[in-house]
Amino acid sequence: MTPFRKVFFILTDVICIAFSLVAAIWLKFDKLQPQHVQYLLFIIPLLTPVGLVCFWFMGLYNRTLRFTSLPDMVAVFTAVTTYSMLKMGSFFFTQSFANFSAVFVIDWMISLLLIGSSRIAPRVALGFLEASPLRGWLFQKNLQKSKRVLIVGAGQAGESILREIKRNVNLPINVVGLIDDNPKKDCQIIHGVQVLGNSEKIARVVKELSVDEIIIAIPSASGHELRRIIKLCQDTKVRFKTLPGMQDIIAGKLVSLQLRDIAIEDLLRRPPAAINLAEIAAYVTGKTVMVTGAGGSIGSEICRQILPFQPAKLLLLGHGENSIFKSNQQLLGNENLGNIALIPIIADIQDREKIAALFNTYRPDIVFHAAAHKHVPLMELNPEEAVKNNVLGTRNLVDASHNAKVERFVMISTDKAVNPTSIMGASKRVAEKILKCYARRSQTRFVAVRFGNVLGSRGSVIPLFKEQIEKGGPITITHPKMIRYFMTIPEASKLVVQAGSYGKGGEVFILDMGEPVRIVDLAEDLIKLSGLEVGKDIEIKFTGIRPGEKLYEELLTASEGIAATRNRKIFIAKPEEVDEAALMAQVERLEAAARSGKIRAIIRGFQEIVPSFAPNRDMIHNDKSVRDSRAQVSQQPQLRVI
């Protein structure tokens, strides 16, 4: 409130205080007698300054009148009531109190009405003017040149967007209507704008009202529902935007009018992952936490999810210096960093001596193991590297954790470890078995968390599709029936951290991946969201299934069952019996094959450990076919579906 307005409302309050007392005496005694006039001449100059001081300290002169709301009215009630009690208290022990006690009550009611009205009247008047036909002239807002907007969603999010637009009189936006599928809201008026019907009427409303843009304000909508609404909006040929989903809102990322274009992640909306903050804090707070692969998509997100729980130290371990540097810089700017000591470490998990030395130096309490080679086609061409990194690297970390008496060790696994047809999947299944062996005899709680594909990871389908669209196509997909499970990186990382609190040792946790998605549908949606047409602007080309790929992925083997946990999105696979002595001997033979670079020996080693492994036939026959195929595959468009 400006100084001029403060002075204006102080004078207004003086008049209200004086008038209220005069009116109260008149109403009580039906007339003003000479003694009443004398009383008023004495009491008004004496107590009015007391009332103004009371109002000042209650903040009545520091509030924005345009946005007057319930808390402001509560402040008025508190201030007027306090002042009235002071007046009553000053006369409580006088002889005239009995005659004037009713006057004070009437005075309180009239003061409350007048002073409250003086605060809310400007907003009421402003709202009336904004809703009037003269709005554009009164607020210098040229509605003819303003963007005509239709808001889909008349819930809390839609109302917030509409309110923000109404408040900003200089914003070149004119909301011409609302759409909502709730029949109870049909024809209702919100901030002067009418609900014009359900989503099936979008096309008609856009045409009749000459809508320029559509805002989809339904953050709680499921992926299926949002896809339906987007299809209706696409048919209008009008640009449309949306709000972030519920996961972003819960994470505190939603601010006023934070609109953006539809992203492919929006079409896969899932209910927000519920995590138990107390359970995570109980095992993370104050501890030394190591994250391997901390420069990768999942590893870096796990680091971000851990920060709010304030570990004492966070060790960022990775092989690539650029990715670790970037991850470290991002975490340094995180508002949740607090007093956490960030320690970036450049190391290769294949270096057994270096890993052991690091564990002896830093003595981590918790390890999240996200470092791995994950690219299926590349591991088919370089199987020895999958063995060295995914199997032997994991063994090094597990052994170091066991020797250092780490409290918990959580490894990121994959659905490709189930009935694997790829070297990558087989290597992760062997890593799971190694964890189970150590879990039976170690003080460390070793667990694995198995899930499917994550959107937005480096080299995943979405960035590749976008790049192909920017180049004019075609989008390359291996098979029209290819389906995959998808999660967002934040959701997967949250559930991994939560699963760590459940581990007793030896479990394989399975994350609920929701419904599978056809890769073709994903590509078509992305083309449409880019404002293009499938087949006309961008072609989709099928290149054939590559070695190691499956049409669909599985989360459980035939022998595994699942048990529920306290989190409805996390399950436990049935324990698998593993002979440690036999496994370690098999791993040693696998290691020898990898060191010698003998592909057939590597395949036999994997089949010995994982009988369900069904490798590429060319790899079984001879080593030369694999080596020769590298040149051929390197010329083909690469699509990573992980």
Catalytic residue ranges: 416
- Note whether 340 and 314 are within 8 A (CB): yes
| Helices first, then strands: H and E counts in the chain | 24, 22
Q: Give, for 382, the enclosing helix (H) or strand (E).
A: none
Which residues make Cβ contacts (< 8 Å) with residue 79, sequence separation at least 6? 54, 55, 58, 60, 115
Choose among 571, 464, 558, 564: nearest CA to 513.
571
Distance, in Å, from the CA atom of 214 to the CA atom of 231, rounded to the nearest integer, reads 12
What's the Cα-to-Cα distance from 247 to each of 139, 217, 251, 306, 491, rounded to whole Å?
A: 37, 14, 6, 17, 8
Q: Return d(Cα 528, Cα 170) in angstroms, integer.
A: 33
Helices (H), 209-273: 223-234, 246-250
* Planar angle of CA 293, 295, 296, nearest 5 degrees: 70
Asked if residue 249 lies in contact with residue 219, where contact means CB atoms within 8 angstroms, the answer is yes
Short-list 21, 18, 40, CA closest to 103 = 21
Residue for token pair 């083309």: 527
Q: Which residues 6+ apart lie within 8 Å of 271 measured at CB?
A: 222, 246
Are 422 and 379 in contact by the 8 Å Cβ rule? The answer is yes
Residues ≥6 apart with Cβ < 8 Å to 101? 88
- List, in sequence order, every residue forming a beta bridge with 486; answer none if it has no partner: 453
Other CB atoms closer than 10 Å to residue 357's CB: what's the count?
13
Return the half-sphere exposure (C-beta side, CA atoms, 13 A cut-off) of residue 270.
20
Q: Of 594, 593, 597, which is closest to residue 624 (Cα–Cα)?
A: 597
